[in-house]
């Protein structure tokens, strides 16, 4: 058992509170993975002061030099990939093949963000006046508060930290209390790679004591938050009152459509991965299967057969396909929604119980669960469950399927399985989501494409890709008049 600390101004320091909390393995609650500081607003003040002091010099470091640090970070992540992935499974629970993918996403993001160090393109354009030059450039924002979730404890912090750094900002990170270790390892790697003192800081603790203090701190210029829509609304309101820049990546209630002309074997494989990968704990997880009534019976039988064969257990074991929920509260939430589904009249086709046999009783395991006879207005078809629960909703035809999928407060990811190019093109146009997959599940985003959604899924920003630079930089328009006289735009033209 190891005791970890905050990282402030290039040093590992204890919290001013003197208090700590335990980080335990959700697959075996008897195992303590580490002990972390339970910080408060005083620690946030220290971290923000450090980041503010480091900003003036860091923003003047040429972007290609910042990129060199990210390339070194990538090299270290590659070297430590297996170590980090195994520790991530112990603290978060998802199976090892997935935590390896999580770490790889951080490696890929480092490479992609470093490439932007030699771009960070602005625009040059024409002027409406003679002897006048016009262009736009990107500038740094300042101190960025980064609040990250527990389900992708390496990938999502890198989605925020790396572009923030390449744009010349300094950062204060608050990782989720369920997964503080992975973010700590990321900061260790950044420090080893040569990030200057004060540029990257991490403060551990709860959302109320640390997260709120970061959001409301007067010297924090930008907040980037990934988490629930309810918390996102609160953060958005707080940032609105202080006019901070804010990026919110929130919930999802993602649907996979299966048309009557689909390859059902592929559709089943996609639905299994989309619904039960990461134990359903993804904002992009498939939680609604919208199936054409002509293939409903056949598809359902195939899907149930495969679901029942999924192996639940400790994610470090090689044959396990579904790990635990991240904590007891999340497992209780899943069980609550299963009971809601039954009470609403949905048919429980498989699963629906806490796993308590053998070693599974030491962790927060839940059976992969499938409901049939689900109606689009049921709570289990409308509310985000964030667990291994999926409902099958019949659709009469393509238009009905699109209508069902769009009948949601959320709009993150969507999917359709069809061999009809017309249906595929119409789905791309008509599905109300930030992401659409054709003949693929609702999960599987790549770092060089924009990530985000519409409606209650966020506030319009996109992470990953080049689009993330619009969050972490400020646009400045520049006009150079070399006419030697006063020229008045819109007047002298």
Q: Which residues are catalytic?
A: 249, 283
- Would you list the DSSP string of 312-343? BS-TTSTT--B---SSHHHHHHHHHHHHHHHH
Q: Which are the contacts of 357, defined by CB distance < 8 A and separation ≥ 6? A: none
Which token pair is 238? Answer: 């707080």
Distance CA 384, CA 433 (A): 15
Distance CA 333, CA 348 (A): 17
Distance CA 410, CA 426 (A): 20
Q: What 3-state DSSP class applies to 465?
A: coil
Distance CA 254, CA 274 (A): 9
Which token pair is 474? Answer: 């400020």
Q: Which of 96, 85, 90, 98 is nearest to 318 (CA)?
A: 96
Q: Which of 40, 85, 326, 12 is nearest to 204 (CA)?
A: 40
Q: What are phi and psi of 82, to 5 degrees?
A: -70, -40
Given the structure tokens 């930008």, which residue do they identify?
222
Question: Is 64 in contact with 212 (CB distance < 8 Å)?
Answer: no
120: left (phi over 0), alpha (psi -120 to 50) or beta: left
DSSP annotation of 96 = H
Q: Which of 64, 271, 56, 204 is nearest to 143 (CA)?
A: 56
């Amino acid at each position: 058992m190891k005791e970890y600390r905050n990282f402030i101004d290039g040093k590992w320091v204890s919290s001013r509170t003197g208090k700590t909390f335990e980080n335990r393995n959700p697959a075996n609650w008897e195992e303590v993975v580490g002990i972390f500081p339970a910080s408060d607003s005083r620690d946030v003040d220290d971290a923000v002061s450090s980041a503010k002091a480091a900003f003036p010099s860091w923003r003047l470091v040429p972007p290609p030099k910042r990129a060199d640090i990210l390339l070194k970070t990538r090299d270290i992540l590659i070297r430590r990939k297996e170590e980090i992935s195994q520790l991530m499974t112990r603290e978060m629970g998802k199976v090892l093949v997935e935590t390896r993918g999580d770490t790889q996403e951080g490696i890929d993001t480092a490479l992609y963000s470093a490439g932007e160090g030699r771009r960070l393109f602005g625009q040059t354009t024409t002027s409406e006046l003679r002897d006048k030059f016009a262009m736009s450039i990107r500038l740094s924002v300042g101190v960025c508060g980064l609040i990250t979730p527990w389900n992708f404890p390496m990938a999502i912090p890198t989605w925020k930290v790396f572009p923030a750094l390449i744009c010349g900002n300094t950062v204060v990170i608050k990782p989720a209390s369920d997964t503080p270790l992975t973010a700590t390892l990321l900061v260790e790697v950044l420090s080893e790679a040569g990030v200057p003192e004060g540029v990257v800081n991490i403060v551990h603790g709860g959302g109320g004591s640390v997260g709120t203090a970061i959001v409301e701190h007067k010297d924090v210029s930008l907040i980037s938050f990934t988490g629930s829509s309810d918390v996102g609304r609160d953060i958005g309101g707080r940032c609105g009152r202080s006019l901070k820049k804010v990026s919110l990546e929130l919930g999802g209630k993602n649907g996979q459509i299966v048309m009557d002309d689909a390859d059902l074997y592929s559709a089943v494989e996609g639905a299994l991965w989309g619904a039960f990968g990461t134990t359903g704990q993804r904002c992009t997880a498939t939680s609604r299967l919208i199936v054409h009534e002509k293939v409903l019976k056949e598809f359902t039988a195939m899907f149930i057969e495969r679901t029942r064969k999924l192996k639940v257990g400790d994610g470090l074991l090689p044959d396990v396909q579904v790990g635990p929920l991240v904590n007891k509260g999340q497992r209780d939430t899943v069980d609550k929604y299963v009971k809601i589904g039954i009470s609403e009249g949905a048919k429980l086709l498989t699963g629906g119980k806490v796993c308590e046999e053998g070693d599974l009783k030491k962790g927060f395991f839940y059976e992969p669960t499938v409901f049939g006879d689900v109606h689009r207005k049921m709570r289990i078809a409308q509310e985000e469950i964030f667990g291994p629960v999926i409902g099958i909703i019949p659709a009469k035809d393509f238009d009905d399927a699109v209508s069902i999928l769009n009948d949601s407060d959320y709009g993150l990811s969507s999917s359709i399985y069809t061999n009809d190019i017309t249906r595929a093109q119409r789905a791309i146009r008509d599905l109300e989501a930030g992401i659409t997959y054709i003949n693929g599940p609702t999960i599987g985003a790549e770092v060089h494409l924009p990530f985000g959604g519409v409606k209650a899924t966020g506030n319009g920003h996109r992470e990953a890709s080049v689009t993330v630079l619009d969050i972490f930089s400020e646009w400045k328009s520049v006009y150079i008049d070399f006419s030697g006289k006063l020229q008045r735009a819109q007047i002298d033209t």
